[in-house]
Amino acid sequence: MSISPVMPLSEINDDLITEVLAMLTVKSLMQLKCVCKSWYSLFSEPFFIKMHLKRSSRNPYLTLYSRYTLFNLFPMRHLLKTHRVTLDNHDPNCQLLMDKNSHRIIGSCNGLICLISSQVNFFFYLWNPATRSLSQTLGSFTDPVSPPNFKFSFGYDNLTHRFKVVAFRPNEVRVFSFGDNVWRNIQCFPTDPYFYSSICHKNCVYLSNSLVWVALRPNDFVDSSCYHWKDLILNVDQYVIVSLDLGTETNTQWLLPRGLDEVSPVMPIVSVLMDCLCFSYYTKGNDFVIWQMRQFGIEESWTKFLNFNHQNVHRVYSCAWHSQFYPLHVFENGDTLILARNQEQVIRYNKRHNRVYETRITNNIYWYLANQFVESLVSPC
Partner 1 sequence: MAAEKSSIKIITLIAADGSVFEVEPNIVKEMKTVQSYIDELDQNTVSIPLPNVFGNDLAMIIEYCKKHASEEETKEAKEEFDFEFVKRMKSDDKLRLLQAASYLNMESFLQFMAKAIAAEIENQSVEFVRDYFQIESDFTPEEEAELRKENEWAFK
Torsion of CA 332, 333, 334, 336, to 10 degrees: -90
Residue type, 304: K
d(CA 335, CA 265): 26
Minimum distance from residue 72 beta carbon to partner 1 (Å): 14
What are the residues facing 282 on neighbouring strands?
288
Cβ contact 37:29 at 8 Å: no
Minimum distance from residue 11 beta carbon to partner 1 (Å): 9
Minimum distance from residue 93 beta carbon to partner 1 (Å): 10
Between 60 and 297, CB nearer to partner 1: 60
Between 16 and 145, CB nearer to partner 1: 16
Among 275, 339, 343, 346, residue whose Cα is nearest residue 306: 339
Q: Residue 129: is the preceding peptide bond cis (ω within 30°)? A: no
Minimum distance from residue 77 beta carbon to partner 1 (Å): 13
Between 133 and 359, CB nearer to partner 1: 133
Between 7 and 120, CB nearer to partner 1: 7
Between 35 and 234, CB nearer to partner 1: 35
Minimum distance from residue 94 beta carbon to partner 1 (Å): 11
Q: Residues 6 or more apart from 156 whose CB is under 8 A from it? A: 109, 110, 162, 163, 164, 206, 209, 246
Which spans of this chain sit near partner 1 (rule: CB under 8 A)? 1, 3-7, 9, 12-13, 15-17, 19-25, 27-28, 30-37, 40, 92, 132, 333
Minimum distance from residue 103 beta carbon to partner 1 (Å): 20
d(CA 1, CA 4): 9
Cβ contact 168:174 at 8 Å: yes
Between 132 and 353, CB nearer to partner 1: 132
What are the residues facing 66 on neighbouring strands?
365
Helix (H), strand (E) at residue 315: helix 310-316
Between 1 and 145, CB nearer to partner 1: 1
Cβ contact 353:346 at 8 Å: no
Minimum distance from residue 196 beta carbon to partner 1 (Å): 37
